[in-house]
Amino acid sequence: MRDLLAVVGKVAAHDVPLLISGESGSGKNYLAETVHRVGERREEPFVHIECASIPPDLFESELFGYEKGTFTDAQTRKLGKLEVAREGTVYFDEIAALTPNLQAKLLRAIEERQFTRLGGGQEVPFRARILSSTARDVDALIASGEFRRDLLYRINVVTVRMPPLRDRREDIPMLAAEFLDGRKTIDAEAMDMLMRHSWPGNVRELRNVLERAALLEESDSIRASALPIEQLGGGDTLVTAAVRDRWTLEQLEERYIREVLLQTRSNYSRAAEILGINRKTLLEKRKKYGIDL
């Protein structure tokens, strides 16, 4: 995380597009806001566009705005998000969710640095900085024709990856203290449970678990009994996460091997038995995937 933040500090000082990759709940939105806050555009608006939550037939009007009378409900002119951003930052959250048609229209606005409101004829300048994020494998989407390569070139002059919480478990005590904000402490047994969990929902899941535990725990220190055991034992399964985020088979295998090693506390003989492979094969896969456990 220190290395990541060092890169972010350099990127924030230069007006270049940034693409943030990482699993759902890992903190991509927070990182984008941080880039804006420490950059030269901090006094201008930060406009967050949730690409996956805006219906495709409404996206253009949300992005570009519209003139009065463009359609039945257009009683007044509406400014689009690109115009509202002025000279600030526009953040496209989960940009890979856009349809190819919308990608083409966004690409045109980015390339020409101007756009037209729906129903209008006057070009509106587009001066905001562009930040984007995605939890999906953009290279795979390009290969399948679901994402435009030329748009990727425009949005990822610099790319950073937000690591999942399971790869930075040493951050859990600090994050927990931040989320609890002095309301409660956490006893040793409960902290051990938090440290052993795989956190498929990442930092967002950790926050939710602690908020619930803080409400349930009557003492000043959160005990294991106050943790939502069904959530720590469940949450998204690896397969559910793999389908949702479109992992490759190798990505799923790497995560499963990592999880088994964590659960067996790096007992390679036991892990190989669970995985149904011999110890030599496990060591070869560990080297292949760069698993340092």
Confidence of residue 259 (pLDDT cuts 50, 70, 90): confident
pLDDT value at residue 293: 65
pLDDT value at residue 21: 95
The pTM score is: 0.77
CB 31 within 8 A of CB 8: yes
Rg (CA), the chain: 22
Average pLDDT over residues 179-190: 95
User: pLDDT averaged over the chain?
Assistant: 89
Judged against a pLDDT cut of 50, whether residue 233 lies above it is answered with no
40-44, 67-71, 146-150: least confident range: 67-71
Q: What are the DSSP E strand ranges found in the chain?
A: 18-21, 46-50, 65-66, 78-79, 89-93, 114-116, 123-125, 129-134, 158-161, 185-186, 221-222
The DSSP bridge partners found for residue 90 are 47, 130
**Largest Cα span, the chain:** 71
Task: Measure the CA–CA gap between 218 and 229, rounded to whole angstroms.
Answer: 17
CA distances from 197 to 72, 133, 220 (A): 52, 26, 23
pLDDT value at residue 134: 94
pLDDT tens, position by position, 124-180:
999 999 999 999 889 889 999 999 999 999 999 999 999 999 889 999 999 999 999
Contacts 24+ apart (CB under 8 A), 33-38: 33/91, 34/8, 35/8, 35/11, 35/89, 35/131, 36/12, 36/88, 36/89, 36/91, 36/129, 36/131, 38/8, 38/9, 38/12
Judged against a pLDDT cut of 90, whether residue 42 lies above it is answered with yes
Mind listing the domains of the chain with CATH numbers?
Answer: 2-161 (3.40.50.300), 166-232 (1.10.8.60), 248-289 (1.10.10)
Which of residues 262 and 68 earns the better pLDDT score?
Answer: 68
CB atoms within 10 A of CB 240: 12
Where b means 16+ CB within 10 Å and e means fewer, 13-34 reads eeeebbbbbbbbbbbbbebbee
Share of the chain above pLDDT 90, in %: 61
The angle subtended at Cα 21 by Cα 45 and Cα 289, nearest 5°, is 160
CB 268 within 8 A of CB 258: no
Judged against a pLDDT cut of 90, whether residue 231 lies above it is answered with no
Average pLDDT over residues 99-112: 96
pLDDT value at residue 105: 96
Judged against a pLDDT cut of 80, whether residue 228 lies above it is answered with no
CB atoms within 10 A of CB 220: 8
Share of the chain above pLDDT 70, in %: 95
Task: Measure the CA–CA gap between 67 and 69, rounded to whole angstroms.
Answer: 6
Which of residues 265 and 52 earns the better pLDDT score?
Answer: 52
**DSSP, residue by residue, 215-243:** HH--SSEE-GGGS-HHHHT-SS-HHHHHH
Task: Measure the CA–CA gap between 171 and 203, rounded to whole angstroms.
Answer: 10
Average pLDDT over residues 1-30: 92
Judged against a pLDDT cut of 70, whether residue 227 lies above it is answered with yes
